[in-house]
Amino acid sequence: MTISVPADVLSRLKAVLGEGGWSQDPDRLAPKLLEWRDRWKGTTPFLALPRTTADVSAIVGICHEAGVPITTQGGNTGLVGGQIPQGEILLSTERLSTIRDVDAFDDVIVAEAGVTLAAVHEAALQVRRRFPMGLASEGTATIGGIVSTNAGGTAVLRYGNTRDLVLGIEAVLPNGEIWNGLKRLRKDNTGYDLKQLFIGGEGTLGVVTAASLKLFPILASRATAVAAVESPEVAIQLLVRAKEEAGGAVEAFELMGRRGVEFVLKNIPNQRDPLHRSYPWYVLIEIASGEPGAAGAAMERLLGKALEDSLILDAAIAQSEAQAKAFWSVRENQSPGQKPEGATWKHDISVPVSQVAKFIAQATAAMEAFAPGCRITAFGHVGDGNIHYDVIRPDGGDDAAHSAKRNEGSRIVHDIAAAMGGSISAEHGLGSMKTEEARRYKSPVEVAALSAIRQSLDPKRIMNPRVFF
Ligand SMILES: Cc1cc2nc3c(=O)[nH]c(=O)nc-3n(C[C@H](O)[C@H](O)[C@H](O)COP(=O)(O)OP(=O)(O)OC[C@H]3O[C@@H](n4cnc5c(N)ncnc54)[C@H](O)[C@@H]3O)c2cc1C
């Protein structure tokens, strides 16, 4: 459904944005209206391409006055449909693309919303610093999107989620006012922390226009390895050992099942099997240390002892950066690798780390009973208790028939996670996909408090109206 926007509102928006600052050309709009897995297709009457925070303020102000809804989009890599408009005006941050400051004294980088994560990595390196977040989508995902989804990624184990990495933000509120909260303080204990509402706010409380982010030293040594294990249970035992052996130096601990690895080898060009033989489960481990040589030594001790104790079946430590990249490529292609296999029910659940193996076992038994012949891949940030648990249609099966059972199947998976004290969305957010489902798992008290916050800032509900309560 396209919402009809009064002609005078469109004229005012065009006047503010100027030539090159807006589009209604279907070819220009098309890639922004399709989600990368083709799961959501959207519509919009107007694409706004603001270049400055003042432009964003003017656009949102006009829409607020007229009661016209807006959906904000960054890199369009979100996995829960929140960035795809269903008739709203689409505000893209692609031209908010300036890195305003990189400071190695304050250890901070200030980047506008449309800057990609990869560009932030690059800019930090220029001052011999590092922004530690890693996402397979980092070449396209933007700082505005990352902040707004409170993205996680592969280094949460050591550095936390986006919430832990943001020092300040600048945002345009739903009435068009600009809030300059671009602080760079490590300590600021002065009441409610407003920026935390925008982090993970998925565009419902306004438009994030810039963020100041924490930088970290570049570490002197880094070791990457793949180890084969018999089961997720053993993977967790190895995680406990890794933390003990390396102290706080474990950066990533990622699980992959054999089926997911095989999909990558089959469907993604130029990939290598990480070990010489095939094994039921793999963990990709990364250790990094400020001390030269220390990461490699810790990895060797960890894997040597684990082999000796028959905890692991096999292992390889990357001998070069290229080999480390090849290991990571198999992990990062777990999702793209399964895409050609057909319709999939995707889940992004978290449970306490101690419950991961039990979750995988229970969910797998339940799915095999509910959807006989389905193909399951379980992979992800097992060190954070976050499993991407995907249920793919049977080999040669019918996509439509599988998709038709999605809601019922996902409900079973979500109920199993919830019964273990888990979450139905560990890192991807709610978007339009999971908002109604989340209502089931939150108490009425929580839903009412969250709705009241939104109502107070956006009484006309113009910002991402399809998302949240
Ligand atoms: C291959 C692949 C791997 C991924 N791996 C991970 C992973 O490991 N961990 C993880 O957490 N996510 C992962 N993601 C999901 C995705 O990359 C993240 O959610 C990312 O943060 C989205 O950024 P984006 O710029 O693409 O945002 P979009 O997709 O454009 O938007 C996402 C949401 O944020 C809102 N939004 C965007 N920009 C703004 C803004 N400036 N102000 C207000 N609201 C805004 C949108 O309205 C929408 O609700 C992955 C995605 C892909 C495709």
Q: What is the pLDDT of residue 247?
A: 87
Task: Give the pLDDT confidence of 5-25 residue by residue, as tens digits.
Answer: 999 999 999 999 999 999 999
Asked whether residue 239 is domain-assigned, the answer is: yes
pLDDT at 1 over 90: no
Let me know whether 298 and 321 are in one domain: yes
> Do 381 and 159 touch, CB atoms closer than 8 A?
no
Q: What is the pLDDT of residue 379?
A: 97
Check which CATH number belongs to the domain holding 139 and give it: 3.30.465.10
Quote the CA–CA distance of 409 and 390 in Å, as a whole number. 11
Q: What is the pLDDT of residue 285?
A: 98
pLDDT at 3 over 90: no
- The mean pLDDT of 135-157, rounded to a whole number, is 96
Check which CATH number belongs to the domain holding 285 and give it: 3.30.70.2190
Let me know whether 77 and 45 are in one domain: yes
| 132 Cβ contact partners less than 8 Å away, ≥ 6 residues apart | 155, 158, 159, 165, 216, 251
Say how many Å lie between the CA of residue 427 and the centre of ligand 1: 10
Q: Give me the domain span that covers residue 374.
A: 342-428
Asked whether residue 39 is domain-assigned, the answer is: yes
Neighbours of 252 (CB within 10 A): 23
- The mean pLDDT of 425-448, rounded to a whole number, is 96
Q: What is the pLDDT of residue 445?
A: 97
Q: Compute, in degrees rounded to 10, the torsion defined by CA atoms 108, 111, 116, 118.
A: -30
Task: Give the pLDDT confidence of 356-368 residue by residue, as tens digits.
Answer: 999 999 999 999 9
Let me know whether 40 and 12 are in one domain: yes
Pocket of ligand 1 contains residue 36 by CB under 6 Å: yes
Pocket of ligand 1 contains residue 112 by CB under 6 Å: no
Let me know whether 263 and 330 are in one domain: yes
Residue where a domain stops, chosen among 53, 74, 92: 92
Pocket of ligand 1 contains residue 168 by CB under 6 Å: no
Neighbours of 323 (CB within 10 A): 17
Residue where a domain stops, chosen among 179, 198, 217: 217
Listed in sequence order, the DSSP H helices in 339-466 are: 356-370, 399-404, 406-419, 431-441, 444-457
Q: What is the pLDDT of residue 284?
A: 98
Residue where a domain stops, chosen among 65, 92, 119: 92
pLDDT at 150 over 80: yes
The CA–CA distances, whole Å, from 166 to 87, 108, 142, 189, 204 equal: 32, 9, 14, 15, 19
- The mean pLDDT of 231-245, rounded to a whole number, is 97
Ligand 1 atom closest to Cα of 82?
49
Exposure string (b/e) for 58-83, b if CB count within 10 Å is 16 or more? bbbbbbbebebbbbbbbbbbbbbbbb
Let me know whether 109 and 186 are in one domain: yes
Quote the CA–CA distance of 84 and 433 in Å, as a whole number. 11
Ligand 1 atom closest to Cα of 77?
26
Let me know whether 57 and 149 are in one domain: no
Task: Give the pLDDT confidence of 377-422 residue by residue, as tens digits.
Answer: 999 999 999 999 999 999 999 999 999 999 999 999 999 999 999 9
Let me know whether 75 and 109 are in one domain: no
Report the number of distinct structural domains present in the chain: 4
Say how many Å lie between the CA of residue 77 and the centre of ligand 1: 5
- The mean pLDDT of 93-105, rounded to a whole number, is 98
> From atom 46 of ligand 1, which residue's Cα is the shortest distance away?
83
Say how many Å lie between the CA of residue 80 and the centre of ligand 1: 9
**159: confidence class by pLDDT, cuts 50, 70, 90:** very high
Asked whether residue 391 is domain-assigned, the answer is: yes
Let me know whether 232 and 181 are in one domain: no
Check which CATH number belongs to the domain holding 388 and give it: 3.30.70.2740
Pocket of ligand 1 contains residue 204 by CB under 6 Å: no
Quote the CA–CA distance of 20 and 49 in Å, as a whole number. 8
Quote the CA–CA distance of 392 and 88 in Å, as a whole number. 32
Chain mean pLDDT for the chain: 97
pLDDT at 262 over 90: yes
Task: Give the pLDDT confidence of 198-213 residue by residue, as tens digits.
Answer: 999 999 999 999 999 9
Nearest to 202 by CA among 162, 144, 152, 134: 144
Strand-pairing partners, residue 180, are 170
Let me know whether 22 and 86 are in one domain: yes
Asked whether residue 414 is domain-assigned, the answer is: yes
Element (H, E) at 156: helix 156-159
Let me know whether 207 and 240 are in one domain: no
> Do 92 and 49 touch, CB atoms closer than 8 A?
yes
Pocket of ligand 1 contains residue 383 by CB under 6 Å: no
Asked whether residue 393 is domain-assigned, the answer is: yes
Let me know whether 50 and 106 are in one domain: no
What percent of the chain is predicted at pLDDT more than 90?
97
Check which CATH number belongs to the domain holding 87 and give it: 3.30.43.10
Asked whether residue 310 is domain-assigned, the answer is: yes
| H and E: helices and strands count for the chain | 17, 19
Say how many Å lie between the CA of residue 11 and the centre of ligand 1: 31
Asked whether residue 419 is domain-assigned, the answer is: yes
Say how many Å lie between the CA of residue 145 and the centre of ligand 1: 5
Q: What is the pLDDT of residue 39?
A: 86
pLDDT at 2 over 70: no
**Token pair in block for residue 304:** 């040597």
Q: What angle do CA 305, 311, 313 make, to 5 degrees?
A: 100
pLDDT at 423 over 70: yes
Quote the CA–CA distance of 456 and 320 in Å, as a whole number. 54
Task: Give the pLDDT confidence of 48-73 residue by residue, as tens digits.
Answer: 999 999 999 999 999 999 999 999 99
